[in-house]
Each structure stands twice: as C-alpha cells, then as structure tokens.
Amino acid sequence: MHENSLNEILNGEKAQQLKAEMNSGLGSANCQYCYDIEATGNESKRTLNLKKYSLPKNADETIIKYLDIRFSNQCNFACRTCMPSASTSWYQDATILSRGKFIDPGVVKPTKVDQELFDQLDQHVHTLEEVYFAGGEPLQESNHYEFLDKLLEKERTDIRLLYTTNFSSLRFKTKKVTDYWNQFKTVNVNLSLDDFGIRGEYIRKGLKYKTFVENLKTLRKESPHVKVSIATAVSLLNVFSLPDFLLHLSEELQFKSNQVTLDFVFDPDLYSIRVLPAALKDQLKAKYQTAVIPENFRYHLDKVISYLDLEDHSFLWNKFISYTKALDQIRSESILDFIPDYKEAFSEKK
C-alpha cells in the first residue's frame, strides 16, 4: 500500500486476474499451500472460509468482509522458522548470517503514514464481519489498540476478532488487551506455540514458557468468553517431539484436540518436514505408530504423515544442517540438546 491504495489494489489487474482464475475453476498458483492441505483430506483456510462467507451475487462486486491486517513487523521474538520480513528481532542474526548483505529496513509498515492506513480502512469498517490480527506481534503494536478504539467508537463490537499472537504479554504500555476483548462479543485467539519448555524456547527465541502459562491462566480467568486455541508450526524442529507436545497440551494445559491447529512450515523451505531423508521419515513414522497420546489427538499425527509423503524435498537436508549449525553458533545453542534424533545426521555432516 506504499504505491497503491487499498481500493486500487482490490480493483487492480492482479486482483481481477485472481478472480478470473478462481471463477474458472482451475484455481491459482497462489493457493497451492491450501491445495496441498486439501490433498491430505484436511480442511484448509480456503475451504473453511468458503463455508464461512457467502459469495457476492455480483462477481464484479468487491466487499471486504474479512480483513487480515499486520500493522508492522515489529516483534519481540526471533523464531527460527520466521524471517526478518515478519520480525524486527531477526535483523541482527540476519545481518550476521548474510555476512552483511542484509540491510536493516527499519520497521516495515503497510503505509508510509499510519493515518493513511486508518483513513483507507475506515471506508470498509461498515462491511466487516471479521478482523484477523497478526504481525509482527499484534499485542505489542500501538496501532492495534488504536484500531480497536475506532471499532468501539463506531459501536462495531459485533465484529469477530481473530488473533495469532506469541502471547508474551497481556499488557502494552498502559493498556491491557483483556480490557478490550471483554467489550467484543466474539474473540478467537490463536496462541503460537511449537513445543513446550526449553524445546519451545529454542524454536521460538524470546519465549519464556512459564510466562506463557501464567498469561493463559489469566486470560481464562479474566475473559472466559474468549476462545483460545494453539497454533503450531510443524517443522523439522518439532516434528519428532510432536507426540509429547500434544500430550502436554492435553494433560497439562487442558486443550481439546479441536483447539489445536497444525500448520506446515514451507517458507523458509529448508524447515519443511518434507526435507527429511527417507531413513528419518521411516524413523518418524515408527515413532508416531507407538506414540502414547489421547486417541482423539491421533488424527493430528495422521495429518503430519499424509503431508510428509506428498513430496520429497530431501535435497535440502544438507542446507538445513548447515543453516542450523550457523544459527546455533550465533545464538550459542545446539540443536542436539533439544532434538537428539538428529545426532547421527549432524555428526556425519562436515
């Protein structure tokens, strides 16, 4: 939106091309991730939204019912499966890894001036049904609270609020997010968590797991109407420990199986579970078969195996090892302290 307004983008050539591709029934290459999920027999965001929202009667009409907004890439985490475009906390490591080629762009925002964004969004508030906040880290973003204030001013407390958050804090300066959420009828919060304890802290640099658990207790107490779920990014970093993690979510954090969503990392591509060599894929399948988890959680493991077998990207395995070793050195960590399943592979790689 630095070059074109929201309305120009919605009615522009690329948007019209996308509409034509979808209306033709042939689909779009931009939707390949959802197609891959659907190929495993599971629901994708695409199919879920088709059920949730009715299509406009006029195919040429553009009405915004769902808004996905990321006010900036300002974030206090530097998760291993993330990247600088989504987190300012990645800048320092990215500079070292690229040997100085990465240039700090500052905080990345959708418009040059914040007020420009609010002015453009104001034109569509009356048609909104749901707003999805992500980042960066939305709960640590001042514009997130300003936007909620605007919705409250317009008495749009009927709008469904949806979040993906690292949940590191319920407070931002003088504001407390539960004070806002308690004024809206429907709030769904996806808590980004890829593992528990020190393994989780290794994957999501910045995570303090004990604080996460305390925040969860506070939210459940102060805002019981808020629907909370776990959003897990399945990657080479947690695929072997996933059964233990699911058991922990069930027994320790009291989540039901339908309150846990697994998404598969495909960018950066070197973290995709399809990168596993054949021998490790067989080892993983054997582990899943004997895993002790609640029976109603087992379909999550089945989903992982289905996705794993769709394609073979093992040609990226050595890239994963080299990259992980380099990042471990920068962060004074070792993957083998958390994922012993890779000990032989990391020892062989020179």
Distances (CA, A) of 16 to 12, 13, 21, 151, 208: 6, 5, 9, 30, 45
Number of Cβ atoms within 10 Å of the Cβ of 278? 9
Residues 28 and 138 in one domain: no
CA separation for the pair 280, 340 (Å, rounded): 12
Same-domain pairing of 173 and 25? no
Q: Are 87 and 73 in contact (CB under 8 A)?
A: yes
Here the CATH number for the domain that contains residue 344 is: 3.20.20
Instruction: Please give the tally of structural domains in the chain.
Output: 2
Q: Based on the domain organization, do 35 and 49 belong to the same domain?
A: yes
> Do 50 and 180 belong together in one domain?
no
Integer Cα distance of 74 and 19 in angstroms: 32
Q: Are residues 92 and 57 in the same domain?
A: no
Are 67 and 35 within one domain?
no
In a shared domain, residues 282 and 272: yes
Round the average pLDDT of the chain to a whole number and report it.
93
Q: Are 213 and 285 in the same domain?
A: yes
Reading the block at residue 281, the tokens are: 């894929």
Last residue of a domain, one of 61, 92, 108: 61
Instruction: From 61, 87, 109, give the residue that closes a domain.
Output: 61
Residue 18 has pLDDT above 80, yes or no: yes
Q: Could you tell me the residue range of the domain that residue 49 belongs to?
A: 1-61
Decide: 191 and 162 in contact? Cβ < 8 Å.
no
Q: Are 180 and 315 contained in the same domain?
A: yes
Q: Is 140 left (phi over 0), alpha (psi -120 to 50) or beta?
A: alpha
The answer to whether residue 349 scores a pLDDT higher than 60 is no
* pLDDT class of 350 with cuts at 50, 70, 90: very low
Last residue of a domain, one of 61, 87, 108: 61
**pLDDT confidence of residue 54:** 74
Q: State the pTM of this model.
A: 0.90
* Torsion of the alpha carbons at 320, 94, 239 and 202, rounded to the nearest 10: 120
Q: What is the pLDDT of residues 172-211, one digit of tens each?
A: 999 999 999 999 999 999 999 999 999 999 999 999 999 9
